[in-house]
Structure 1
Amino acid sequence: MSLSPAFLDELRARTLLSAVISPSVKLIRAGREWKACCPFHNEKTPSFTINDEKGFYHCFGCGAHGDAIRFLTDARGLPFMDAVKELAGKAGLEVPAPDPQARERSERTSTLTDVMASCQKWFAEQLAGIEGAEAREYLKNRGIGPATVARFGIGLAPEGRNKLKTGLSSLGEDKLVETGMLVKNDEGETYDRFRGRIMIPIRDARGRVIAFGGRILGAGEPKYLNSPDTPLFDKGRTLYNLDLASPATRSAKRLIVVEGYMDVIALDRAGIAEAVAPNGTAVTEHQLERMWRLDPNPILCFDGDSAGQKAAIRAATRALPHLGPERTLRFVELPAGQDPDDVVNNGGREALEALFAEPEPLVDRLWRHELQAQPLTTPEARAGLRQRLIEHSQAIGDQALARLYREEWLRRFHDEVTPARPQFQPRREFQSRYSGQPNQRGARWVPPKPPAGPAVRAIAATGIDRTMARALVLGFVNFPEALEHHCEQLASLPIGEATLARIRDRLVDAAVSGEMLDREALATILRDSGAAADLEKARRTGTMAFSFTRSDTDPDRAVRDLGTAIDALMADGEIGAALKAATERLKEGEEDAFEEQRRLHSKREEIKERLASLAGSD
């Protein structure tokens, strides 16, 4: 909905800016203006000024600047239209409706929020009355005193099918049904939705009650019962405590996301007001957008049980397509079996702050989850881990960020699954050759023979494809920065073509020297070692068209694809070794060996397809 400039100018003219800001900060008169400590950053000396005549505020410390509408959107996190409606209501202006249907919806919404306000007041009265004794005792035992009850508007839905229906009959059954407070069955009978429950109001960003969450007293299921979706309430688009957390987030410079209503209240009791929660659902994309409006790096703090861990991973994967340089998620995992209430009761705010001080980045949380998914004792398990990590990185919409995630995860994968091997040690004759000093024996340094693991033995037995070997060697010549992570893999490959083997040896020779290598420095080394002719011959011979065989390819992409290719080749070697073992077991009559052969052949085909996709990419 668009608003005319004339309407917005009239709204600003009728709004006293200092009256809008004064509930948030203490104002000090300074001539014809007001001064205050800035609500957008921490300061001890006032540098925030308000000019009612001109209708704007300005902070000389952080540069915050705007009018009344901007203050409500920035300081309280209200959407633009909600800020306009709040100011218009106080100024006695009617926000123009674009069409009769929109006007009707607006009027109906206003009426329904009045109904919900009446329900909240009635629930609060029941909690304070005779029937509320058990509920008051329950809240007391959870450390929730009268001040917290009042702050969150907590009430009680007493037992009985028609208590609210009778007590608020003046509001009309139709409106109570429309707001979800009454249930209407197939026979047309209506009855109270909430019975025998602690009632927690869910408010919108403007502080209006739009729904309820009901926590059962004693045993029973469901433990929590939420309002259904209504014209006021869309649980997938709403965050609990948004109205109170928005201003608190501005001053705290962070947003905490917890699982449920009681978790929010527990944090608030500990003095941490910047907390919200989804409304009994997994975190949705709309809720993520709401979080990111308040904080580009919210901290998700879920319970330390399996359900809490699953909720954290669901939120992480849901966020991947929407990540960017300026927005991500961080995670805090509570001790096993504990929720925020337990942490508050055992250690107070200090215990929580110690956890929040070291949140786990999203990249680490997903890596840890996938690494712990299953033991990496088989080639299939290792291939599965790698594939899941690649799929996560591919889900990220920002391509530059996706590339960084992929590279980081594949580096960790390589470190995790590559067996520890003796490090290459340059021999004295090798060191003297590059220091300009004559070799004592005049012999060229020979790379140490790599350990013949099962993957290498399997590759040696089947032979590495010549065109693939040529592509890999030329890739490392074009992009020598990749040698840092893949030198040992390159040295392990049994290359049969003598020309390529000599170039490979020179590459490994140069890499283990410890020098910083770039393309120009490597060309000099190859020329000085007499391998330039071999390289020219290799370049003239046809090879597979990978990104890394072209020197003009984007370096980040080429290095990534080169690592993927050599990792795939080594994985194929591992699968080859496992196939050989399965074949031996099959000869011995083991029944499960045939099925294992089938699985391994399928994995090998996947690797071939992966290499083919790299070769076929532009």
Structure 2
Amino acid sequence: MALPANFLDELRARTPIAGVIGRSVKLTRSGRDTKGCCPFHGEKTPSFYVYDDHFHCFGCGEHGDVITFVMKTTGAGFMEAVESLAQEAGLEVPKASPQAAQAEQRRAGISEVLEAAGKIFQRFLHEPQGKSALDYLRGRGLSEETIRRFGLGWSGEGRGVLAAALRGQGIKPEQLIEAGLMKQGEHGPVDMFFSRVMFPITDRRGNVISFGGRIMGDGQPKYVNGPETPVFSKRRSLYGLHLARDAVRKGAQLIVVEGYIDVIALAQGGFGGAVAPLGTALTEEHLAEVWRLSPEPVICFDGDAAGRRAALKTVDLALTALAPDRSLKFLNLPEKDDPDSLIRREGPAAFKARLDGARPISAALYDMLAEGGGRATPEARAAFRQRLIEVANRIPDKNLASEYRSMLLERFFAERRVKPGAPKKPAVFARGSAPPDAGEANFRRGRLMLVTLLSHPALINDVDEAFARVALPPAYAKIRDALHEFAAGAKSLDTEGLFAHLSLLGLAEEARLIEALAAEDHRPDPDASLAEAAEKWWSWYILMDFSVEMLRAQRDELEQFWKAHQDDAGAWERLIKYNELLRQALAGEYGSAEN
């Protein structure tokens, strides 16, 4: 039996071809794609390229999709290869049956109806009845070539005009209802689209699967999409995908925008890699589709409040799927602007400059989370800090999650530093010592501080806020994040439990290596009391070149809080501690304040 086209499309979409080929061919990144030595003929210089949905060897000419590759490399037949890939993808291969054959015939029939309707809509647009719609499109700055390339059309104004135009092709109203072009009314079939500019929606192969329509005038709703059908699903479809795929393969940046006209205007301006969801927020399926085309697409929603909310929803969805090789960028537009209005007002060159300045999600995330949230009190800051940690913890890749926690907490504490331009205090060293290289000295002090916490985990909660500000290399920052996680969830803060936690994370060996390196500078006393360990930890912290500013900011903040809550004994005790630490830092002395 011939398998349904939509099943094969879904199988290919769920089976990353580079992953399958990479099991037997060593692939390396080549621009947006990957390449390797061809498995079908002997070669030493790679000429075998793997794209998002197919492979091609420029040496021997072998070409095909993921199913073809499995067949050619394993000797499997078509159905055997499909069944093997389907099992991996968690899909069930449709069984041969009269019902399956009928369903496939039904889908084919719908596709034929939609193609025929698209040609009628294009014809209507260039007839006298479509003059207002054509004038509207030209008024939006669209050229005849762009209108033709995107297959834009006009629905007609008279009721039943589409059915009448297609009657000569043997297409009946019930077929138009099934294709989402008409609906059943009280007195018979009525048009789904009436007095609207028509935008064909295609699948990744360029086949029309539905339409969207924009009303002429002030009526509502302004935009209408066709209903769900056997060939069309809003949560899986992206407007402009077919044309964007070709552009991205040729080097265009993949850009996700909000509307039809945004996609078309960007394409006409030279940015052919634009796509848009169909009146819905981005879904998991949408993200999977754009990531198949580009490892770091740009999200470019409108500059209004709704656009910012949509961007934040996209971040929320993307966090659970981020990976070292899969991310997003965000392009913030001016208030009340969309890509269409911006490129018409500023021109392609200015938009390109903005696009080049799009921020990675790692840089945009903090600002999105902070927008509209007050952090004027310790309670509000503590809640916000916890939210930052929770957001980072949603990232499934542990190493990436650790990097995000470090980055977000760094931004959190950086907000409380002295303002840019203020004079920077010089590094303070212990009396009698020669000032070493500042970067190397801070690196070694940070390592000593980390090792002190490894041997005295009970200190973690007391120094966590200050330690999060200390710049550490990535390998050490991972250990610091693991300490924070341990302290947040452990019932007992002991070294044995801590190293059990590190072992689960695969970090225990790395922690032991750090201890060995730190022993060259200072060998901790295993019998030291917690107070003695705390004194030593703070002595290293005070010598960090940023600590004076940090301590002053913390002291000033506590002072303001205590003035408003003078009955809070804990706040008073913390204020005394920070005043003493600040005094010691300014004097360059080791501390003896209790922590």
Taking structure 2 as the reference length, the TM-score comes to 0.63
Instruction: After superposition, give the CA deviation of every residue in 1:405-456 in whole Å (9 maximum; x if it has no partner).
Output: 1111011112214678985853572425999xxxxxxxxxxxxxxxxxxxxx
Per the TM alignment, residue 485 of structure 1 is displaced from its structure 2 partner at its CA by 5.2
Aligned residue in 1 for 2:470:
484
Per the TM alignment, residue 212 of structure 1 is displaced from its structure 2 partner at its CA by 0.6
Aligned residue in 1 for 2:415:
416
Q: How does 1:57-456 map to 2 (within 5 A)?
A: 63-64=48-49, 70=55, 98-100=95-97, 101-169=99-167, 170-185=170-185, 187=186, 189-252=188-251, 254-417=253-416, 425-426=427-428, 429-431=431-433
Measured in 2, the distance between the counterparts of 1:281 and 1:314 equals 11
SS of aligned partner of 2:130: helix
Aligned-residue identity in percent: 35
Per the TM alignment, residue 107 of structure 1 is displaced from its structure 2 partner at its CA by 1.4
Measured in 2, the distance between the counterparts of 1:351 and 1:411 equals 32
Instruction: After superposition, give the CA deviation of every residue in 1:138-187 in whole Å (9 maximum; x if it has no partner).
Output: 111111122111111110012233222333344112211111111113x3
Measured in 1, the distance between the counterparts of 2:304 and 2:514 equals 49
Q: Does the 8 Å contact 1:213/1:226 carry over to 2?
A: yes
Amino acid at match of 1:317: D
Measured in 1, the distance between the counterparts of 2:152 and 2:432 equals 78
SS of aligned partner of 1:168: helix
Aligned residue in 2 for 1:513:
none
Q: Does the 8 Å contact 1:152/1:201 carry over to 2?
A: yes
Measured in 2, the distance between the counterparts of 1:223 and 1:82 equals 45
Measured in 2, the distance between the counterparts of 1:540 and 1:427 equals 22
Aligned residue in 2 for 1:581:
564
Measured in 1, the distance between the counterparts of 2:257 and 2:385 equals 31
Instruction: After superposition, give the CA deviation of every residue in 1:77-109 in whole Å (9 maximum; x if it has no partner).
Output: x9868999xxxxxxxxxx997322332222111
Per the TM alignment, residue 58 of structure 1 is displaced from its structure 2 partner at its CA by 9.8
Q: Does the 8 Å contact 1:116/1:210 carry over to 2?
A: yes
Measured in 2, the distance between the counterparts of 1:574 and 1:103 equals 72
Measured in 1, the distance between the counterparts of 2:104 and 2:68 equals 12
Measured in 1, the distance between the counterparts of 2:276 and 2:67 equals 23
Q: Quickly say closer, same or farther: Cα 1:380–1:246, change in 2 above 3 A.
A: same
Amino acid at match of 1:358: G
Q: Quickly say closer, same or farther: Cα 1:220–1:127, change in 2 above 3 A.
A: same
Measured in 2, the distance between the counterparts of 1:127 and 1:133 equals 7
Measured in 2, the distance between the counterparts of 1:469 and 1:354 equals 51
Q: Quickly say closer, same or farther: Cα 1:470–1:149, change in 2 above 3 A.
A: closer
Per the TM alignment, residue 344 of structure 1 is displaced from its structure 2 partner at its CA by 2.2
Amino acid at match of 1:581: A
Measured in 1, the distance between the counterparts of 2:36 and 2:313 equals 41
Q: Does the 8 Å contact 1:253/1:295 carry over to 2?
A: no
Measured in 2, the distance between the counterparts of 1:403 and 1:526 equals 27
Superposed CA RMSD: 4.7
Per the TM alignment, residue 240 of structure 1 is displaced from its structure 2 partner at its CA by 1.0
Measured in 2, the distance between the counterparts of 1:209 and 1:411 equals 49
Measured in 2, the distance between the counterparts of 1:135 and 1:430 equals 83
Q: Quickly say closer, same or farther: Cα 1:223–1:103, change in 2 above 3 A.
A: same
Q: Does the 8 Å contact 1:58/1:65 carry over to 2?
A: no
**Gapped runs of 5+ residues in structure 1?**
9-39, 73-77, 85-94, 436-466, 487-516, 544-548, 550-566, 586-618
Measured in 2, the distance between the counterparts of 1:153 and 1:59 equals 46
SS of aligned partner of 2:291: helix
Q: Does the 8 Å contact 1:212/1:226 carry over to 2?
A: yes
Per the TM alignment, residue 225 of structure 1 is displaced from its structure 2 partner at its CA by 0.7
Amino acid at match of 1:484: V
Measured in 1, the distance between the counterparts of 2:436 and 2:120 equals 87
Q: Does the 8 Å contact 1:214/1:225 carry over to 2?
A: yes
SS of aligned partner of 2:470: helix
Measured in 1, the distance between the counterparts of 2:427 and 2:241 equals 60
**Gapped runs of 5+ residues in structure 2?**
9-29, 58-63, 71-81, 83-92, 438-452, 473-512, 538-549, 569-595
Measured in 2, the distance between the counterparts of 1:581 and 1:484 equals 30
Q: Quickly say closer, same or farther: Cα 1:282–1:433, change in 2 above 3 A.
A: closer
Q: Quickly say closer, same or farther: Cα 1:541–1:120, change in 2 above 3 A.
A: same
Q: Does the 8 Å contact 2:254/2:273 carry over to 1?
A: yes
Q: Which has the larger radius of gyration?
A: 1
Measured in 2, the distance between the counterparts of 1:522 and 1:259 equals 53
Per the TM alignment, residue 519 of structure 1 is displaced from its structure 2 partner at its CA by 3.7
